[in-house]
Each structure stands twice: as structure tokens, then as C-alpha cells.
Amino acid sequence: MRSYTLIAPAKINLYLEIIGDRHDGYHELAMILQSIELADQIDLEANDVQLIRLRSDSKEIPVDKSNLAYRAADLMVQEFPDSFATYGGVDITLHKRIPVAAGLAGGSTDAAAVLVGIDLLWKLGLTKSELEELAAQLGSDIPFCIGGGTAIATRRGEILSPLSGLGGIYIVLAKYRSLSVSTAWAYNTYRSLFGHTYIKDTENLAARGNAVHSGDIVQAITRQDATEIAQKMHNDLEKVVLPEYPQVLQLKESFAKYDILGTMMSGSGPSVFALCESQEKAEQVKLSMREEIPNMDLELFVTRLITHGIQVKSQFAI
């Protein structure tokens, strides 16, 4: 049997601006997405039973057809029926380390890894662009997770423009295990409160979506200036999530007490991260946060920004 083990990194948002409504009901967005070293491991093994079988070491996620990893495999079956008939089904095992329902694209990156893994298992030879096109059928974050690194994401988040990769900048990541924030709720609430500020003209939407290309934070990323990046970080969704979820606000306020470069909520939350000048400083901040908030429901991670997305860890063939 042929098998692959892949590493699927999480992502954070360094920038998230909501520009307006789209005709498809989604929001027009301008974001800067960033891969981090915190990652899941996905094992894929060919089977001879013409089935997709999914299992996980986490009891927090479903292992049925609602799981994005399963849906990614099913998409490959639908798109490449001849290869499915030739090579058979696939057994997928998810080893979860990325917190669930954390706004870190844990489900999206698992799905991206499945797309990459099945491409290898079935010897399809798909390009990165072709994999991203498939990924866009499943969700807005998944195309980014394929290649990862640092990228501007516009429209719904599926149109990507790579930036100079940021690597080696350390962060502390905090998330209450039992707390989740609905992404749909966050965006709908933002629309209800701030929809009057939206740009209505479609051409202006596109122009504003491209404006981030010349933004201050992009220049800071080009210069690899972690201090300036931290100063220019922005997330519109904090306006609705922080007032409604005091625990998320508490994390951001607690981080701000320490000598960090900057802190922000990632995506729609509830994860909050702090950029730090060094690994040593990040470890100190993590320890201080644990002492300040001894609640064991709080998960704390020290990780770093990386310049890649899905990677093959190992492969095996009989």
C-alpha cells in the first residue's frame, strides 16, 4: 500500500478589512494571511475498498461527511473518477494539534493536506494553481493553506497574491478550549452594525480590495520589520467579537500588559496572538499569562511564523 504523511500548518490573520457586500452574499475582504508552525499531521493511505474512511485522535471533530477533510477527498473522487477507479479509496487519519473552532483554519488546512495527498497518491500531477482552484470549491481559506507563507487575500479570501515570506518571528497563541465564535455570526453582526459604511459600487469594491497592496503593513512585511508589522495589524471583526466575548477581550488586554510587539485576535476568533521579539520573550509571556490566568481551559502555545503551507513529511510504498 502507498501512503503519505503530511504536515498541515495553521494560519493567523495579520490584517482583516471588511470592504462591503458581494453579489453572492459573502463579504468583499482584504486580508493578510500568515502560516504558523503549529500544525496538524494527516496520514493518507490507499485502500482497496473504494471508500473514503476518516478517523481522528480528537473527539472534538466529526469524522463523517461534514468534515472538510472528508469533503476534500470526496471532491477528488468526483473530479477524477477514473483515478479513483484505478487507485481505489483512501484512509485518512487526522492527528489534531491545532485547537478546534479557533479561527486558525484547522479544518481548512486539513482539507488542503487531503487534496495534496490524494494528488500524490493518485499520481495526478496537479499544479499548485489547479489545487487552489479545487480548494476554492470547498472554502475561502483552503486555497491559501495549500502554499501558505504570507499572502494578501482578496474577494472572499480565495484570490491570493504572495508576499515576501515571514519566518522566525515568534508568537504566543491563546485560546479558551471551550469557547467558540461563529464566523457567520461575526460577519452578520458586523454587517448589521456597520453595513451603512460599506462601499456599494462594485468597481470601488475591487479598487478597495486592491488598495491593501500598497498598505503600510505590506511595506513592513517587505522590510521584514516585525515591530512595524505589529503596529500596523488590524482586524475589523474585533469591533463585534470583543464586546460580546469578554474572555477574548481579557486575553488581548492581558497580552498588552507585557513587553510584546503587538497583539490581535485572529480572524473571527476566539484565538488571540501576541508577536514577540524572540523565542525567549515568547516563552516568558506564555509563563506570565499562565500565572495571571491559571484556568486550565486556557490553551497557550509558543510557535512562529513560517514561509510554507502543506508539506510532505514522509511517504511509503510497497
Binding residues for ATP: 99-109
Grouping H, G, I as helix, E, B as strand and the rest as coil, residue 178 is: coil
C-alpha–C-alpha distance, residues 186 and 269, integer Å: 9
Residue positions forming the annotated binding site: 99-109
C-alpha–C-alpha distance, residues 303 and 296, integer Å: 19
Neighbours of 199 (CB within 10 A): 16
Q: What angle do CA 235, 236, 237 make, to 5 degrees?
A: 90
Q: Which amino acid is at 153?
A: A
Nearest to 83 by CA among 113, 53, 50: 50
Nearest to 32 by CA among 217, 190, 183: 217
Q: Match 516568558 to its residue by C-alpha cell.
A: 284
Active site residues: 11, 141
Neighbouring residues of 110: CB distance < 8 A, sequence distance ≥ 6? 8, 40, 42, 67, 68, 69, 72, 94
Q: Grid coordinates representing 303?
A: 510557535
C-alpha–C-alpha distance, residues 166 and 32, integer Å: 12
